[in-house]
Structure 1
């Protein structure tokens, strides 16, 4: 999926019909989502069937993933529940190296015989592929971890919360929007539980229980006399949390500039929907922006998408090497730029890092899908490109002795490959708030929330819109603007970074359905930042540039 999640899942209006097929699985009753997973002892026994079979027929390496993927989606519109979807996908994927070449096969027959047949098929595929393989696969070492487990640190399992309670909450948000002037509103709640077991011939048996949640909505207000309408989507961030995210606790909330509420660790969907209706009405009469150079104050809920496209994707090593050229482009950040050890990605304020361990993030797991313990590492240090994102069969290209731990597969039936980890901008070191930042701007625009965007195939030249835009003049917010988008290129943009708020303002943005690869797979990833200012950025008027 993409095109900004298919225009925010087609306005959420057509429910599950737009969802990627791998997320669907088999439809099951809601209570089946709480069935007890297979015991790790049995998983180990089944995994050993694959590992022993692979070694006995000539594989030099093998790993097996036993996966149970659970999804629940609730869709509503105004005062009605549109759809409730409960799915389960269960099966086994086996990946091997034979004669220096990868082979992969999968099966939904989770029995010793079914796994044995899939393993034999994977080895046969590897041997067939070896006839055209030019260089043997090189895996950097990984520590064998024995039998270990990891679980998303949740307080409330989303699957255990009654569907009626979830639907009632969405309908309450819809009602709040309608009571405050919305003409139309639809909302949705996406919940995912990945129960994943990994084992390899190198001695790891890893059991993981991963949870993610994404509440969202879209509110529309109409001026019938003028034939105009404006929409405002939710300012929630999808998170690697349980249902506690929906508690609306005040902890983690920030009172932003202009009286705007920002959501930190917890989210209040009713409060956000109320504000959305009022802001959508305000957009109908807001003035159109004058094109020109502005200092941009970017909220983390907006900046996360810019980080995703201008940093996360161009620093994927497989993209840099050209493996993604046919589907999603290449990267301007080529190997020679990294080898120079002096390539200026941004100015000295800019420190960008990858981290698969950030608590609450979408990408947080204990171990990746080839059994590597996850970690944090630098991508851009004080403005200089210092690293990429690489997995076991890529790390040797960078002269590194271990994988970065960012290998992922969307399901048991798809082969794992390099996927973007959480990529974030480090906060500033000085005590400095978003309100302080506004006071320091003479002519600027404050941008909140994601919007439409465009970026070239090398992830260099781009244009980004947003959800809410506010004019800043002489240190104060003067009112709302319409038709705002900014244009720049990746280097110019990150070199225009002028100030970053401190850690107290640090928040996560997320992408729940990030697409990559052929055949395409989706993954979920977060991007953290504090409110950040970029000086002298070119702003266009999208209403006058159609």
Structure 2
């Protein structure tokens, strides 16, 4: 999956045309009963030691091994039909080494001591060949060995243990809720991921991790049969680092949207039936909603919408490899260069505090250790509106005068080399108590936006345009009516400097992506972005339905 599928898949806009042909999230088809199998860490340790010893014997000064079993299950439905159920498994090992100051990497699906030793020898040979053209030797920030440790996503119910029939029944019930409330068509799906990862290195770490993620989603379409006009509304769920308990709705996890919208925000559990019913009604409402008048508006942005804006305008431009120009695949480099940072130019208003975090419970990026054996952490990126740091890994830290990795190295498979990937990047909630309704009361002329929609951003992550799922006009402190055809345009500095109010932590929620693309060859990673509802003053809003000229 590529970056542009980030919104396309989350919206499932292609609906029936796309889903039946989408077999799984990768790997070889496997009987669902095998998804509950595991691998003995003691066996992994023997195989990893064979690779590490072979690498050192061949001349490596450093080596790490990742033995991975990647499992997934995907279920797709449409109205009253099941379109596809696919379970996949991918199993193998990757060996990364430093020899003559240069990286080498090799992977194998022959997961035996002999197979891993052979891969290690090949990795060293590749490193030595690469060293002939390497201009500077790799410098690794130090990492202490942790010995034998384990980490597991703190789930309550493994989604792979839930019978497929039960999950299908839930999706079909959601479809029925949508059609009963005005939808003409509906697609729904459920993605489940389990990464069983074992890491070992010559630093002395043997790390066994069991990572779980889940994503329920749907897209409903309402059609005016007389005119042929149609409108859609996608799920307001977020993919999460949780188990099947995410689909057991709890009242305590529900957050009411502003009065007059009927919207509900979800925190650590999700009511797909409730959301599908509302989606059917709202898709039908959108058929008769008034088209927005272009102009300057104060925007009140729901967390399920704002997460995508954070991802594109803050997450990617603070990746150090993009900043340095080492990475430009999937939408370019970054305006926020080291020189730009040194000028102390405000990134946003003083209300803007954005953190990177690999520890956040329930998030997609939460792990105990990254894919080069670094213990994960939380750190500041934007503090009181100023850019204070970037995202970096072991061989990047010295470039910015630091001696510690941020623990954000990741590979999406055993056969892919690990590199710098975005951690969870989140806007911190306001410190003063403020509800969404209280925020709306202070808006004279504005637009409330919920849900993620289409977007565009330039190659330096600076000039952008974002849409959404549902839009409501705000006039003199009140939600007045649903409107349509809304998108806003700004540049990153202008937008974040217009931030004027942030609701408190009681409104804080996570947005996420299963399929954030980066690299060449391309890889995907899962990442969350948290925020509370936030206000931005005087932002340019355009009408996406109007023709130019």
In the other structure, the counterpart of 1:15 is 19
CA distance in 2 between partners of 1:355 and 1:220 (Å): 36
How big is each residue's C-alpha offset from its partner over 1:281-306, in whole Å with a ceiling of 9 and x where there is no partner? 00000000000000000000000000
In the other structure, the counterpart of 1:470 is 472
Q: 1:487 to 1:545 in 2, by over 3 A?
A: farther
How big is each residue's C-alpha offset from its partner over 1:83-139, in whole Å with a ceiling of 9 and x where there is no partner? 000000000000000000000000000011111111111001000000100000000
Selected match of 2:446 from 423, 444, 447: 444
CA distance in 2 between partners of 1:194 and 1:532 (Å): 34
Q: 1:526 to 1:441 in 2, by over 3 A?
A: same
SS of 1:413's equivalent in the other structure is: coil
SS of 1:451's equivalent in the other structure is: strand
SS of 1:494's equivalent in the other structure is: helix
Please say which of residues 512-521 and 3-12 is displaced more in the overlay. Answer: 3-12
CA distance in 2 between partners of 1:447 and 1:188 (Å): 24
CA distance in 1 between partners of 2:547 and 2:398 (Å): 47
Coordinate RMSD, CA, aligned: 1.1
CA-CA distance at 1:16 after TM superposition: 6.3
Gapped runs of 5+ residues in structure 2? none
Matched, 1:495 2:481: no
Is residue 320–residue 331 contact of structure 1 (8 Å, CA) maintained in 2? yes
Residues 324-343 of structure 1: pairs in structure 2 closer than 5 A: 324-340=327-343, 342-343=344-345
Is residue 365–residue 528 contact of structure 2 (8 Å, CA) maintained in 1? yes
Q: 1:103 to 1:531 in 2, by over 3 A?
A: same
Is residue 487–residue 541 contact of structure 2 (8 Å, CA) maintained in 1? yes
Size of the aligned set, in residue pairs, is: 542
CA-CA distance at 1:240 after TM superposition: 0.2
Gapped runs of 5+ residues in structure 1? none
Residues 192-231 of structure 1: pairs in structure 2 closer than 5 A: 192-231=193-232
CA-CA distance at 1:327 after TM superposition: 4.5
Selected match of 1:362 from 364, 371, 380: 364
TM-score, normalising length from structure 2?
Answer: 0.97
CA distance in 2 between partners of 1:328 and 1:530 (Å): 27
In the other structure, the counterpart of 1:5 is 6
CA-CA distance at 1:347 after TM superposition: 1.1
In the other structure, the counterpart of 1:289 is 292
Is residue 60–residue 97 contact of structure 1 (8 Å, CA) maintained in 2? yes
CA-CA distance at 1:10 after TM superposition: 5.0
In the other structure, the counterpart of 1:134 is 135
CA-CA distance at 1:4 after TM superposition: 4.1
Residues 130-529 of structure 1: pairs in structure 2 closer than 5 A: 130-257=131-258, 258=260, 259-340=262-343, 342-529=344-531
CA distance in 1 between partners of 2:432 and 2:23 (Å): 43
CA distance in 2 between partners of 1:206 and 1:376 (Å): 20
Is residue 96–residue 126 contact of structure 1 (8 Å, CA) maintained in 2? yes
SS of 2:82's equivalent in the other structure is: strand
CA-CA distance at 1:17 after TM superposition: 3.5
Matched, 1:105 2:106: yes
Residues 82-101 of structure 1: pairs in structure 2 closer than 5 A: 82-101=83-102
How big is each residue's C-alpha offset from its partner over 1:152-182, in whole Å with a ceiling of 9 and x where there is no partner? 0000000000000000000000011111111
CA distance in 1 between partners of 2:182 and 2:543 (Å): 27
CA distance in 2 between partners of 1:10 and 1:370 (Å): 37
CA-CA distance at 1:338 after TM superposition: 2.2
Q: 1:380 to 1:365 in 2, by over 3 A?
A: same
Q: 1:205 to 1:34 in 2, by over 3 A?
A: same
CA distance in 1 between partners of 2:514 and 2:266 (Å): 18
CA distance in 1 between partners of 2:469 and 2:490 (Å): 19
TM-score, normalising length from structure 1?
Answer: 0.98
SS of 1:449's equivalent in the other structure is: strand
In the other structure, the counterpart of 2:42 is 41
CA-CA distance at 1:256 after TM superposition: 1.6
CA distance in 2 between partners of 1:338 and 1:6 (Å): 30
Matched, 1:24 2:23: no
Is residue 345–residue 494 contact of structure 1 (8 Å, CA) maintained in 2? yes
CA distance in 2 between partners of 1:12 and 1:397 (Å): 45
Is residue 428–residue 500 contact of structure 1 (8 Å, CA) maintained in 2? yes
